[in-house]
Amino acid sequence: MADLRPILIASRPHTTPRSATVQDKYTGAPLAEVCVAGETEVRAAIGAAHDARLAMANLPLHVRASVLRSVAQALRERREEFAPTLVAEVGKPIALSRGEMDRAIETFSISAEEAERGAGGVLPLDASRLGEGYFAVTVR
């Protein structure tokens, strides 16, 4: 099994006293040993998010859109790497795991478009077939 995988707080890796083994849902074989966040790590993550709020709020809309498009592209490039991981970790069939990846890619792509608009509101998510019947609420 691979080394202990840390959690990330403000993009920095942190190891914790507690860990958990992620097991393949089909075979029961260990996939990874991951750190488990406790109160200290949760408070640190909340503090980091609070500290970053003004910088994020002041990002120009085109920069936000660019970041979101970059995430969508990175997910698109690694789709066939992540989908089998979902199969192993949560036991989803590969077709549904690929659908999860497609939905994530579409969510970031649509979010990039919305970032450029800069307005808030209620948005139907049925621009993607995976979003039929769902809505997003945005607040600027």
Q: What is the pLDDT of residues 3-25, one digit of tens each?
A: 899 999 999 999 999 999 999 99
Query: What string of DSSP letters covers the chain?
Result: -PPEEPEEETTEEE--S-EEEEE-TTT--EEEEEE---HHHHHHHHHHHHHHHHHHHTS-HHHHHHHHHHHHHHHHHTHHHHHHHHHHHH---HHHHHHHHHHHHHHHHHHHHHHHH---EEEE-TTSGGGTT-EEEE--
* 134 vs 35: which has the higher pLDDT: 35
Q: Considering the entire predicted model, what is its pTM? A: 0.74
Average pLDDT value for residue range 96-119: 91
